Amino acid sequence: EDQVTQSPEALRLQEGESSSLNCSYTVSGLRGLFWYRQDPGKGPEFLFTLYSAGEEKEKERLKATLTKKESFLHITAPKPEDSATYLCAVPGTGNQFYFGTGTSLTVIP
């Protein structure tokens, strides 16, 4: 069964304290792993797509990496404006697109 699991559910960091978010997936024939950022009451905003194990992508303080079973979103020296829920998602069978339940990140000044 296609599945996406994210951990931790919530994460509180001090400003400047680096950390990582995890997304593990179970899907046959990975056709990309997507990371989104979602602010409260808003629609998800696209961040990255990773297609193959070993691939890495960076954007400002965020870096996404991919292995055969999971992806990490590394946050380096976060700022309060990085506070949001981070979602990962994979295309599954039947053109469905499975989202994880997200990691709620709070960065404290």
Partner 1 sequence: DSGVTQTPKHLITATGQRVTLRCSPRSGDLSVYWYQQSLDQGLQFLIQYYNGEERAKGNILERFSAQQFPDLHSELNLSSLELGDSALYFCASSAASVWGTEAFFGQGTRLTVV
- Work out whether 34 is an interface residue with partner 1 (CB under 8 A): yes
The residue among 36, 37, 31, 24 whose CA lies nearest residue 50 is 31
Q: How far is the CB of 95 from partner 1 (least distance, A)?
A: 4
Residue placing its CB nearer to partner 1 in the complex, 49 or 76:
49
Structure tokens at 86: 């981070």
Question: Using CB under 8 A, which of 29, 54, 94, 109 touches partner 1?
Answer: 94
**Which residues in this chain contact partner 1 in the complex, by CB under 8 A?**
32, 34, 41-46, 49, 87, 89, 91, 94-102
